[in-house]
Amino acid sequence: MMTAAFLTTAFVIGGVGAYYIQSKKHTEHRQHGRVMLGMAMIMAIFVAPAQVLIGDEHGLNTLEHQPAKVAAMEGIWEDERGAALRLFAIPDQENQTNKYEISIPYVSGLILTHSLDGEVKGLKNWAPEDQPPVMIVFWAFRIMVGIGMLMVLVGLFSLYKYFKKQQYNPESVWFHRAWMMMTPLGFIALLAGWFVTETGRQPWTVYGVIRTAESMSPLAAQQVATTLIGFIVLYIFVFGAGSFYILRLIAQGPKPYEDPADDNFYEHSVTESQGRALSGDSNPAKSTEEDIDTPANDVDDGGLR
């Protein structure tokens, strides 16, 4: 989950950085764009493959503790030796089967049991009322893993561009477009992951112990609906305002560092000259040579004086 959050953030930063490098409106922000993209590339190259390995481990743990969820993620109905990886299928829960299946033999079994003829339990081991909603779990899992794989591909693309020393070149249009297109995908993968976890757990609140139906509070449907609508309205407002603000900041671009107008600014630095050096003010008009290096008396300098 932590790596997923890091990746999501990195792809936003990298996407915005790539936009600053490409945008004709933001030529003065290209340097910022390079720093942003460069840092995000490191995350994509190293953390995206790590996410795949962590996800694989997560899946093995789920297989041990919530096998019905894994069967739904994989769209497996019958117990299957050398289980196939379903690339595409429309799970039909009513008839307990898949429609329009496209699959690669052995791959799922290999991933889940680390052996070619390992057996994966099918959904039919559970009564229909004990199975999770397969369609949601199956597709949410594919969306999450699909985006994870795209992240790995963008990481590889970044490595290639890095070795060619073209990663910051505005002529690398497709490279920067790929980064820009990835900007929102981390959020979608995060949501898809939560859908897999929470929907795949159904019909249990505590797997195999308390059913969701048993853990409902004794409230009238109208009361629950009112609270739910309240939450939806509030979140639309909060996220709407937040997204609007963030998009405006991105459209404006980072502001160049400016000296604050107030004269007390330099009191916050250890010495006036260090403060001026930090702020890039190399030509102090108001100060004499002597008082430039005089430490401000009321500042905790951490023992540097």
- What is the binding site for ligand HEM (CB under 6 A)? 1, 4, 7-8, 51-52, 55-56, 58-59, 62, 144-145, 147-149, 151, 186, 189-190, 193-194, 196-197, 200
C-alpha radius of gyration, the chain, whole number: 27
Rounded CA separation 160/124 (Å): 46
3/125 with CB nearer ligand HEM: 3
| Token pair for 41 | 């590339």
The nearest distance, CB 305 to ligand HEM, in angstroms, is: 48
At its nearest, how many Å lie between ligand HEM and the CB of residue 179?
15
Task: Spell out the residues 6+ positions from residue 281 whose beta carbon is closer than 8 angstroms to its own.
Answer: 259
Between 144 and 178, whose beta carbon lies closer to ligand HEM? 144
- Of 142, 130, 38, nearest in space to 89 by CA: 142
- Under DSSP, the state recorded for 130 is G
Within 10 A of 200 (CB to CB), how many other CB atoms are there?
24
DSSP structure class, residue 284: -
Distance in Å, CB of 153 to ligand HEM, minimum: 11
CB 44, CB 155: distance < 8 Å: yes
Residue 210 or 251: the one with the smaller Cβ distance to ligand HEM is 210
Shortest reach from residue 167's CB to ligand HEM, in Å: 22
- Token readout for 229 is 């609508």
Cβ proximity to ligand HEM, 37 vs 70, nearer residue: 70
C-beta closer to ligand HEM: residue 44 or 196: 196
* Helical (H) or strand (E) element with 9: helix 2-22
**Of 64 and 263, which has the nearer Cβ to ligand HEM?**
64
The tokens for 19 are 């936009």
Q: How far from 122 is each of 69, 142, 204, 298, CA to CA, in Å?
A: 10, 18, 18, 72
Nearest distance, CB of residue 249 and ligand HEM, angstroms: 23
Q: How far is the CB of 99 from ligand HEM (least distance, A)?
A: 24
